Structure 1
Amino acid sequence: MSIGLFHTRLIASNSLLGAPVLTLDIVVDTVRKKVSGTASVFQSTWPPVNFHARVWGDYSEARLTPSAENYIILTLDGSPSGPLSQIAQTFHLKGILGDWTSGFVDYRYNEGGQWQDVRHVAVHQAPSVEPLPPEHHVQPLYAVAVQTAQASGDLAQLKVAVQQGEQQLAHEGALRSALEQLNAEIARLEAR
């Protein structure tokens, strides 16, 4: 384990498609055994979640047997504006980690006035992110528009979203099958 101050980014998620994914972007102070940073919860399926909080807390180290490695017991709290704010806390986490690279956590977050509990989720270190080269041009995809239109059942909105995606991806054959599936869904909805 590093001594002093270090940064780590951890991802907590179960392997279920569409389940919430927690990202902890934290700085660890090993001298004072304090942790601070940000927590983000993202879920792409309905209902979508895009939760953010500033987090703070502490950790301790424990050894189950004399010959076993140390475990890190992490406790975090969070709110939209930090620990000194008068805004109510919207995030809590308790977990057991092994050397800041893996482990399990339980956490809860308040989204839209409702507490959401997520239990016994595996944690792993996030892969490092390489920046895109300057010549790489990023274009937005229309997946969110398509998903929103599908969820609302608005056939006209779904058609427009699919047409926009077709225009953008006309030269991208790999995603053509996804668009064909959406067109088949439109045809099925129209047949009703």
Structure 2
Amino acid sequence: MSIGLFHTRLIVRNDLLGAPVLTLDLVVNTVSKKVSGVASVFQSTWPPVNFHARVWGNYSQLKLAPSAEHHIILDLAGSPSGPLSQIAQTFHLKGLLGDDWASGFADYRYDYDGQWNAVRHVAMHQAPTVEVKPVPHPHIPLYAVAVQQAQAGGDVAQLKTVVQQAEQQVAHEGALRSALEQLNAEITRLEAR
């Protein structure tokens, strides 16, 4: 288990078609053993459910036998606007997880449209992680300072060099083509002096 703060996303559901799916997006503080985050329950079958609550609570560690691994006992409450709100709680969860926060079981209940719904002994698993790969962007240096210095000094050769470098760097970039044309027009104007 991590030390300090860490994020985990847990999916709580059974394998029944159309059963509600609870997603817990949690930040865990291992120093104070506090948990906070967001709970969302979605059910696509009748009656459809789209429930959201801010959640908070705590956890404790339990060791079942001297040689056994630790387990996490998770206790959460929730409401639409957080723990300091005067709005009544609309969500409760009791869960038992492995020490790695990867899997376990939970009982939870939520108030949706004025009716409490209880879900008992449902499997809890970490949500699969999605790797976001950065989109490569070409490095485009800014030539404004070099252009201004060349213009201020009236140095046509330096201005031509800067423009050639920019043309080589961004030849494939259509958005900068008009800026390069303006720079070339400036070279022509300076050469005419």
- Quote the offset at 1:131 in angstroms: 5.4
Mapping for residues 16-165 of structure 1, pairs under 5 Å: 16-98=16-98, 99-130=100-131
Q: Is 1:11 aligned to residue 5 of structure 2?
A: no
TM-aligned CA deviation for residue 129 of structure 1: 2.8
What TM-score, normalized by structure 2, do the two folds share? 0.67
Partners in 2 of 1:46 and 1:38 — Cα distance? 24
When residues 44 and 130 of structure 1 are mapped into structure 2, their CA distance, relative to the original with a 3 A threshold, is farther
Give the total of aligned pairs.
134
Q: Which amino acid aligns with 2:96?
A: I
How far 1:132 moved relative to its partner?
9.5
Dislocated runs of 4+, deviation >4 Å: 130-134
2:60 counterpart letter in structure 1: S
What are the superposed Cα offsets for residues 74-108 of structure 1, whole Å, 9 maximum, x if unpaired? Answer: 00000000000000000000010002100000000
TM-score w.r.t. structure 1 length?
0.68
- Structure 1 unaligned segments of length 5 or more: list them: 135-192
CA distance in 2, matches of 1:113, 1:62: 35
Alpha-carbon distance, 1:118 to partner: 0.2
1:14 aligned counterpart, secondary structure: coil
Measure the CA separation in 2 of the matches of 1:81 and 1:43. 22
Q: Quote the Cα distance in structure 2 between the aligned partners of 1:133 and 1:41.
A: 31
AA matched with 2:81 = S
Q: Aligned partners of 1:48, 1:132: CA distance in 2, in Å? A: 34
2: CA distance, partners of 1:5 / 1:58? 13
Distance between the aligned counterparts of 2:28 and 2:134, measured in 1?
31
**How far apart are the structure 2 equivalents of 1:58 and 1:40?**
19
1:43–1:5: structure 2 CA closer, same or farther, 3 Å change rule?
A: same
Percent identical pairs in the alignment equals 78
C-alpha distance 132-18 of structure 1, shift in aligned 2 (>3 A): farther
Larger radius of gyration between Structure 1 and Structure 2: 2
Look up the SS of the partner of 1:96 in the other structure: strand
Give the AA of the match of 1:30: T
Mapped to 2, the partners of 1:132 and 1:41 lie a distance apart of 29
User: RMSD across aligned C-alpha pairs, in angstroms?
Assistant: 1.4
CA deviations on 1:166-192 (whole Å, 9 max, x unpaired) are xxxxxxxxxxxxxxxxxxxxxxxxxxx
> Which letter does structure 2 place at the counterpart of 1:92?
H
1:174-185 paired onto structure 2 within 5 Å:
none
Q: Which amino acid aligns with 1:119?
A: R
Deviation at 1:113?
A: 0.3
Residue identity matched to 2:124: V
